[in-house]
């Protein structure tokens, strides 16, 4: 349109770049938190939808399903039981706020605790969505290094002491303790005790993100930090995206009413999606416990395929710790590989990866690392995709030096 209105002069400063038009999914997609379509419990979801709609579908005519603004009551009741059984959390339905995915949960926690210029402590390698939110809010981020068991408590103690010396009280310590994103580690119980001690001593609350905690190979889930706290200083969030289906946008917050009531007062959306809450509650009440072992078995098989493919295609050029659960593998490539620069040529060849620096606040450390999500591609796609990735990486960076046992270069 030649005389089209120009919105550009009206835009405020600081907006992100405009989105680019979506052009479809990559052929080999190792990004995002997509799940295994074959493991989706579709029959159970269909039956649940039918049953719950027949029984109480007319409540859809009312905002909040006659359960009030904290979310569908049956879903919160399920969560009370599930969190007790799986994570040791003792809470009531009144201490749970259902959200539109865990991303809204993060927004609400940030909304009631953070202002520009505040400081928070997070894991050095950490969920991109959380890092980006803090950056956009102008919050100072102190990253704590990880080892194979997650956040290092010696480093946390040092960081807290350093901040104290500067007169800074961090607003929270954000951690994904159980199946860490992106490393897949699980924080041992002893470290949890130590973390709670440090947090209490410094008067800093803990923001515990347990979105992946259902997906543990050996099902040995430690008690949540929320469960171990003696002073109600932990805000706990979770999600059904990884355990049932990511496109269902349902997450939740568990927190003392004193702070949950603050979050509820800034949840201006007239409620989260009701149909999704109803169907999840109905499905989970009778099927969740049986579904999880099936799902994790399938995911574990895919992880094996991914690790085999990496060994085969990259050899020693790809280093990784075996994750204890979840849907992704955190891979170290040789130092000369810049995964931000590997991203585009890989995508052009049909392979999508998550470059390490997008999952880290330590850019030099993460420069040659990448996150690979193995849940969504099929076994065959994993094998072929990793082969293509190795070719591209070889072409761009000279590593791996050998491709499929054929020496190159």
Which 237-256 positions form the footprint of a copy of itself (CB under 8 A)?
Answer: 241, 245-250, 256
Instruction: Give me the least distance between CB of 18 and a copy of itself, in Å please.
Output: 4
**Does residue number 37 form part of the binding site for a copy of itself (CB under 8 A)?**
yes
**Does residue number 348 form part of the binding site for a copy of itself (CB under 8 A)?**
no
Task: Note the helical H segments in 188-316.
Answer: 189-202, 225-228, 257-265, 274-314
Residue among 53 and 292 whose Cβ is closer to a copy of itself? 53
Residue among 24 and 364 whose Cβ is closer to a copy of itself? 24
β-bridge pairing 328-332 and 369-373: antiparallel
Distance CA 177, CA 219 (A): 15
Residue among 3 and 405 whose Cβ is closer to a copy of itself? 3
**Does residue number 376 form part of the binding site for a copy of itself (CB under 8 A)?**
yes
**Does residue number 398 form part of the binding site for a copy of itself (CB under 8 A)?**
no
The SS3 of residue 121 is: strand
* Residue of 26, 101, 355, 385 interacting with a copy of itself (CB under 8 A): 101
Nearest C-alpha neighbor of 226 from the set 408, 80, 16: 80
**Does residue number 57 form part of the binding site for a copy of itself (CB under 8 A)?**
yes
Task: Note the helical H segments in 349-378.
Answer: 363-366
Instruction: Give me the least distance between CB of 261 and a copy of itself, in Å please.
Output: 4
**Does residue number 406 form part of the binding site for a copy of itself (CB under 8 A)?**
no
**Does residue number 112 form part of the binding site for a copy of itself (CB under 8 A)?**
yes
* Residue of 15, 165, 220, 407 interacting with a copy of itself (CB under 8 A): 15
**Residues between 58 and 77 with contacts to a copy of itself, criterion CB under 8 A:** 58-66, 68-70
Distance CA 186, CA 176 (A): 9
**Does residue number 380 form part of the binding site for a copy of itself (CB under 8 A)?**
no
Task: Please say whether the beta carbons of 336 and 382 come within 8 A.
Answer: no
**Does residue number 128 form part of the binding site for a copy of itself (CB under 8 A)?**
no
* Residue of 90, 266, 290, 348 interacting with a copy of itself (CB under 8 A): 266
3-state helix, strand, coil in the chain (%, to 5): 45, 15, 40
Residue among 63 and 219 whose Cβ is closer to a copy of itself? 63
Per-residue CA distances from 26 to 11, 343, 344 (Å):
32, 12, 12
C-beta atoms surrounding 235 within 10 Å = 26
**Does residue number 294 form part of the binding site for a copy of itself (CB under 8 A)?**
no
| Buried/exposed code over 289-305 (b: 16+ C-beta within 10 A; e: otherwise) | eebbeebbeebbebbeb
Radius of gyration of the chain (CA): 22
**Does residue number 135 form part of the binding site for a copy of itself (CB under 8 A)?**
no
Task: Please say whether the beta carbons of 335 and 382 come within 8 A.
Answer: no
Residue among 156 and 317 whose Cβ is closer to a copy of itself? 156
* Residue of 49, 157, 228, 292 interacting with a copy of itself (CB under 8 A): 49
**Residues between 148 and 187 with contacts to a copy of itself, criterion CB under 8 A:** 169, 171-172
**Does residue number 350 form part of the binding site for a copy of itself (CB under 8 A)?**
no
Nearest C-alpha neighbor of 128 from the set 20, 33, 29, 248: 33
């Amino acid at each position: 349109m030649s005389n089209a209105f120009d919105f550009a002069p009206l835009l405020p400063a600081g907006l992100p770049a405009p989105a680019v038009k979506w052009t479809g999914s990559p052929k080999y997609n190792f990004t995002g938190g997509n799940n295994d379509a074959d493991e989706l419990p579709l029959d159970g979801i269909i039956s649940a939808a039918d049953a719950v709609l027949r029984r109480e579908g007319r409540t859809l005519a009312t905002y909040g399903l006659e359960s009030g603004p904290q979310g569908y009551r049956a879903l919160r009741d399920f969560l009370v039981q599930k969190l007790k059984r799986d994570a040791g959390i003792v809470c009531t339905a009144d201490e749970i706020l259902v959200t539109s995915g865990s991303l809204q949960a993060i927004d609400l926690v940030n909304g009631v605790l953070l202002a520009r210029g505040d400081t928070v402590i997070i894991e050095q390698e950490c969920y991109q969505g959380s890092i980006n939110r803090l950056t956009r809010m102008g919050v100072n981020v102190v990253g704590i290094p990880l080892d194979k068991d997650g956040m290092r408590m010696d480093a946390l103690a040092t960081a807290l002491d350093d901040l104290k010396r500067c007169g800074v009280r961090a607003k929270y310590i954000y951690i994904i303790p159980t199946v860490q994103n992106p490393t897949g580690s699980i924080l041992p119980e002893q470290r949890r005790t130590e973390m709670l001690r440090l947090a209490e001593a410094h008067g800093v609350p803990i923001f515990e993100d347990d979105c992946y905690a259902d997906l543990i190979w050996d099902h040995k889930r430690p008690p949540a930090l929320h469960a171990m706290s003696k002073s109600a200083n932990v805000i706990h969030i979770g999600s059904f995206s990884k355990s049932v289906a990511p496109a269902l946008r349902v997450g939740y917050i568990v927190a003392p009413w004193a702070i949950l009531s603050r979050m509820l007062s800034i949840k201006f959306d007239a409620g989260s999606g009701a149909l999704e809450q109803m169907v999840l509650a109905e499905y989970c009440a009778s099927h969740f416990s049986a579904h999880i072992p099936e799902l994790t078995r399938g995911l574990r098989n895919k992880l094996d395929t991914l690790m085999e493919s990496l060994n085969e295609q990259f050899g020693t050029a790809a280093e990784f710790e075996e994750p204890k659960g979840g849907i992704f593998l955190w891979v170290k490539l040789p130092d000369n590989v810049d995964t931000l620069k590997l991203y585009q040529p890989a995508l052009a060849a049909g392979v999508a990866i998550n470059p390490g620096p997008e999952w880290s606040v330590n850019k030099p450390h993460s420069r040659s690392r990448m996150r690979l999500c193995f849940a969504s591609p099929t076994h065959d796609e994993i094998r072929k995709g990793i082969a293509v990735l190795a070719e591209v990486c070889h072409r761009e960076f000279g590593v791996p030096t050998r491709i499929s046992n054929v020496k190159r270069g």
